[in-house]
Amino acid sequence: MSKTKQTHVPVLLHEVLDYLAPQAGKSFLDLTAGLGGHAGAVIELTTAPGRTTLIDRDPEAVRVLRKKFVDVEILQSDFRSALEKLARQGKRYDIILADLGVSSLHLDSGLRGFSFLRSGPLDMRLDANQALTAEKIVNTWSETDLADILKGYGEEKKSRAIAKNIVLNRPVHTTSQLADIVAKSYRFRSKIHPATKTFQALRIAVNDELKQLAHSLPLILEVLAPGGRLAVISFHSLEDRLVKNFLAENSGTLDAQLQILTKKPITASASEIVSNPRARSAKLRAAVKIKTRPL
Ligand SMILES: C[S@@+](CC[C@H](N)C(=O)[O-])C[C@H]1O[C@@H](n2cnc3c(N)ncnc32)[C@H](O)[C@@H]1O
């Protein structure tokens, strides 16, 4: 149960609770527990910390979670590996949540290298034990490979110009150096900071975020109990497309395993966006696992 007061503002919290419908005694798996904002609210309603598993890849987030929750299973792991383990153990959950991406823990500190607004090392690892960093990608990948990830993961229109400028200005060691190089690749100012898409693309590449999600979706379906509910919040169109297609492929037929609860993705209200700008690009999709039919 919760030991300390919550300070983190979780995105689309009311909507998540509506779709997950937590009730006393239900088991709960949070694949991206972060600072435990959503998890705390779900556990308050399931009142079943002993039937709860919280996962996060980031050791710092896990430290926060361990302080905040007792009697809860907390795993420091990427969710793909954790799901493989839980599936092997035959675990099943009534409620599963994935709130993808990064948290304020990553964006608020320059030291983690996720923010172009704060100077720091070009790191961007969610788990500091892994070898690949943004600095390694920026300084060792070919111009073509850099342009490909900027376009593929960042949908960056200036991918070729930025990749060229990065290669010309190597070595690049800090977030502010990289943000300057990207800004100089733009002749005109856009509504968003010019480095937004480059930083997003690098973060996705460093943490292999799309493969993590693609490989995990079938495992999520496996560990979701019959009648169980799933909610996924994504912040990137490529992630949302993976979720949307997976839900569509597993619903709508006589032998389908899922029933989709959100015809269209749920997005944040204008007032939530004002109080929490990160909610701007959030998309929530939810589904329920169909109970096994009698033969
Ligand atoms: C948006 S935050 C979650 C915030 C959380 N819902 C809350 O209310 O505090 C996403 C979290 O997922 C973690 N994460 C991202 N990708 C992950 C992965 N593949 N496996 C495990 N954790 C991951 C990040 O470290 C981050 O803490």
**d(Cα 183, Cα 177) in Å, to the nearest integer?**
10
Structure tokens at 190: 């856009």
Q: Per-residue pLDDT averaged across 277-287, rounded? A: 95
Do residues 32 and 79 share a domain? yes
Share of the chain above pLDDT 90, in %: 89
Do residues 226 and 93 share a domain? yes
Do residues 22 and 62 share a domain? yes
Q: How far is the CA of 101 from the centre of ligand 1 (A)?
A: 6
pLDDT at 294 (0 to 100): 52
Per the domain annotation, does 249 fall within a domain?
yes
Q: Per-residue pLDDT averaged across 204-216, rounded? A: 97
Residue 283 bridge partners (DSSP): 234
pLDDT reading at 4 higher than 60: no
Per the domain annotation, does 4 fall within a domain?
no
Per the domain annotation, does 27 fall within a domain?
yes
pLDDT, tens digit (0-9, with 9 covering 90-100), for 237-276:
999 999 999 999 999 999 999 999 999 999 999 999 999 9
Share of the chain above pLDDT 70, in %: 96
Q: How confident is the model at residue 2 (pLDDT cuts 50, 70, 90)?
A: very low
pLDDT, tens digit (0-9, with 9 covering 90-100), for 164-186:
999 999 999 999 999 999 999 98
Domain range for 149: 109-207
Q: Identify the residue whose C-alpha is closest to ligand 1 atom 27.
A: 34
Of the three residues 207, 229, 255, the one that is the final residue of a domain is 207
pLDDT reading at 189 higher than 80: no
Q: Identify the residue whose C-alpha is closest to ligand 1 atom 19.
A: 78
Per the domain annotation, does 51 fall within a domain?
yes
State the CATH number of the domain containing residue 177: 1.10.150.170
Of the three residues 173, 207, 241, the one that is the final residue of a domain is 207
Three-state SS letters, the chain: CECCCCCCCCCCHHHHHHHHCCCCCCCEEECCCCCCHHHHHHHHHHCCHHHEEEEECCHHHHHHHHHHECCCEEEECCHHHHHHHHHHCCCCEEEEEEECCCCHHHHCCHHHCCCCCCCCECCCCCCCCCCCCHHHHHHHCCHHHHHHHHHHHHCCCCHHHHHHHHHHCCCCCEHHHHHHHHHHCCCCCCCCCCCHHHHHHHHHHHHCHHHHHHHHHHHHHHHEEEEEEEEEEECCHHHHHHHHHHHHHCECCCCCCEEECCCCCECCCHHHHHHCHHHHHCEEEEEEECCCCCC
pLDDT at 75 (0 to 100): 98
Do residues 113 and 191 share a domain? yes
Q: How confident is the model at residue 1 (pLDDT cuts 50, 70, 90)?
A: very low
Q: Per-residue pLDDT averaged across 33-44, rounded? A: 97
State the CATH number of the domain containing residue 39: 3.40.50.150
Per the domain annotation, does 145 fall within a domain?
yes
pLDDT, tens digit (0-9, with 9 covering 90-100), for 128-147:
999 999 999 999 999 999 99
Residue 272 or 105, more confident = 272
pLDDT, tens digit (0-9, with 9 covering 90-100), for 55-79:
999 999 999 999 999 999 999 999 9
Quote the mean pLDDT of the chain: 94
Atom of ligand 1 nearest to the CA of 36: 9
Q: Identify the residue whose C-alpha is closest to ligand 1 atom 25.
A: 58
Do residues 264 and 236 share a domain? yes
Of the three residues 185, 207, 229, the one that is the final residue of a domain is 207
pLDDT reading at 91 higher than 60: yes
Q: Is the pTM of this model over 0.75?
A: yes
Per the domain annotation, does 5 fall within a domain?
no
The answer, yes or no, to whether any atom of ligand 1 lies below 6 A from the CB of 78, is: yes
Do residues 189 and 232 share a domain? no
Q: How confident is the model at residue 7 (pLDDT cuts 50, 70, 90)?
A: low
Do residues 75 and 130 share a domain? no
Do residues 115 and 76 share a domain? no
The answer, yes or no, to whether any atom of ligand 1 lies below 6 A from the CB of 41, is: no
The answer, yes or no, to whether any atom of ligand 1 lies below 6 A from the CB of 212, is: yes
Per the domain annotation, does 54 fall within a domain?
yes
pLDDT reading at 295 higher than 60: no
Per the domain annotation, does 8 fall within a domain?
no
The count of structural domains within the chain is 2
Q: How confident is the model at residue 10 (pLDDT cuts 50, 70, 90)?
A: very high
Do residues 82 and 120 share a domain? no
Do residues 221 and 262 share a domain? yes
pLDDT at 293 (0 to 100): 57
Do residues 143 and 74 share a domain? no
pLDDT at 109 (0 to 100): 86
Q: Identify the residue whose C-alpha is closest to ligand 1 atom 12.
A: 32
Do residues 114 and 195 share a domain? yes
Structure tokens at 79: 């969710």
